[in-house]
Amino acid sequence: MVEIRSYGPWAVVTGASSGIGQAFAEHLAAAGLHLVLAARSTDRLESLAATLTRAHGISCRVVTVDLSRAGSTAELVDATGDLDVGLLVSNAGVGRPGPLLDQDLGDLHRRLTVNATTHLDLTHAFGRRFVARGRGGIILVSALGAVHGLPNMAHESAAKAYVLNLGEALHHELAAAGVDVTVLLPGNVDTPIIDAYGIDRAAMPIRPQPVQTAVRESVAAFLRGRSTHIPGRSMRIMTRLLPRTRSIRLNGRMLGQAARRLAEREAATTVAPS
């Protein structure tokens, strides 16, 4: 099995300020790759960069960018033009549970940019660079919800389905050019998004997998040449055995409950005007 360093010397990680993106940054830094860390939070990125540089002796470049803005990916591509980037981890994503028609259309468009268009733009730009250099790797982070529509998260499951299909096709399309592509489908990984969505952890059918474990096995799947990977053996078994219609109902019910809790929490924290 090849080593992740063979794609280096630099890797780009989007959504690197927390969760799966941060865990990828930590894993790649420990493997000796220099990193470009991209997200909206400059303070978090700079803190992470300092920690990784100190711990692993690597170099980090922080790129503060809001990937919900149309065309914002050009800023990240331009900021890495002088680097020999060999690996892209396109992880940035946002979401909000709730009925589609209750949500603001402008916000839906911004989330579509992050969850789908950004992955396209970065894959296109860095894919061309990797083909030109004769070697490269692309890891696209989709979601397990991409395998079917999710009630109360219809928008996100649809956008993530685009990423799944894009990456699965490019896994074959770019192979002859020396570019490896894997799509990750996390569905039960312990990240801040669980609490941000208002999901009741006690009601989850399977205990969330530690994010470091999910990333470690995902990198191993990428290095083995997998086109897709669902982190967590229990989630892979459940996905294979649970009937599609039942999965849609169960997940839709859980996300509907999460949406109600989220709305109640936001209402409780809203300060009435004086």
Question: For residue 56, what is the domain's CATH number?
Answer: 3.40.50.720
Q: What is the pLDDT of residues 175-225, one digit of tens each?
A: 999 999 999 999 989 998 888 888 888 778 788 999 999 999 999 999 999
Confidence of residue 65 (pLDDT cuts 50, 70, 90): very high
| pLDDT of the residue at 1 | 52
Number of domains in the chain: 1
Give mean pLDDT, residues 45-64: 98
Half-sphere exposure of 40 (CA within 13 A, CB side): 8
- The model's pTM is 0.93
Cα–Cα dist 224/220, whole Å: 6
Per the domain annotation, does 274 fall within a domain? no
| pLDDT of the residue at 271 | 58
Give the range of the structural domain holding residue 220, as residue numbers without chain letter: 4-269
The b-or-e profile of 25-43 (16+ CB within 10 A means b, else e) is: bbbbbebebbbbbbbeeee
Per the domain annotation, does 110 fall within a domain? yes
Task: Give yes or no for residue 274 having a pLDDT over 60.
Answer: no
Q: How far is CA 113 from CA 73, 118, 143, 162, 170, in A?
A: 10, 6, 16, 12, 20
String of DSSP letters for 1-50: ---GGGG-SEEEEESTTSHHHHHHHHHHHHTT-EEEEEES-HHHHHHHHH
Lowest average pLDDT, out of 65-79, 96-110, 147-161, 256-270, goes to 256-270
Cα–Cα dist 95/153, whole Å: 8
Give mean pLDDT, residues 245-250: 91
Give mean pLDDT, residues 93-104: 94
Per the domain annotation, does 146 fall within a domain? yes
Per the domain annotation, does 237 fall within a domain? yes
